[in-house]
Amino acid sequence: MASAPSSCAKSVEVMLNRSWAKLNLRSEKVTNWIRLVCARLGVRLHLLKRRVITWLNPPYRTIEVDGSLPSQLKKNTLYIVAEDGFQEQAAMLCPCGCAQILHLNLLPDERPVWRVLRNRDGTTSLRPSVWRKRGCHSHFWFRDSRVIWVNDLHK
Ligand SMILES: [Zn+2]
């Protein structure tokens, strides 16, 4: 009878060790699972962030028009006016929302002059930046069909 408590204690110890081992194994599995989920979630969060940025700052469409601008300009659209095959001006609604039409000269013998760059991926860029000296004083770059505010570049 004297050995009963010790054998009981031993079996309890064995049980505890097994439980501890299982617990450790489980906690390792749980930790790995959490790491995996976080890694996947991290990637998803990254994609979500990009989507939100794209949604908040959608790329512009570039439309080439012959001769003259339409009477109503659409938002998020860069118009390139060409006549006889020569690009004369680019135009867009001011991206600040002030509803002013920005006319950007593309004729090289007049100043100021902008260059339209058509990128391989179908996007458009303008050079140099657009800086309104009057009105809303917007200052932005138009790169890869997106408006990049100059203030944002310095943040
Ligand atoms: Zn403006």
Give whole-number Cα distances, 151 to 92, 131, 141, in Å.
20, 12, 10
Distance of CA 118 to the CA centre of its chain: 20
pLDDT at 143: 94
Measured in Å, residue 73 CA sits from the centre of ligand 1 at 14
Measured in Å, residue 151 CA sits from the centre of ligand 1 at 14
pLDDT at 7: 75
Measured in Å, residue 88 CA sits from the centre of ligand 1 at 22
What SS3 class is residue 130?
Answer: strand
pTM score: 0.65
Q: Which two tokens stand for residue 127?
A: 């050079």
Measured in Å, residue 24 CA sits from the centre of ligand 1 at 62
Measured in Å, residue 121 CA sits from the centre of ligand 1 at 28
pLDDT at 24: 72
Measured in Å, residue 99 CA sits from the centre of ligand 1 at 7
Segments of the chain assigned E as strands: 61-66, 77-83, 86-93, 101-105, 115-118, 124-131, 139-143, 146-149
Measured in Å, residue 36 CA sits from the centre of ligand 1 at 46
Measured in Å, residue 139 CA sits from the centre of ligand 1 at 9
pLDDT at 154: 60
* Ranges of the chain with pLDDT below 50: 1-3
Measured in Å, residue 101 CA sits from the centre of ligand 1 at 9
Measured in Å, residue 120 CA sits from the centre of ligand 1 at 29
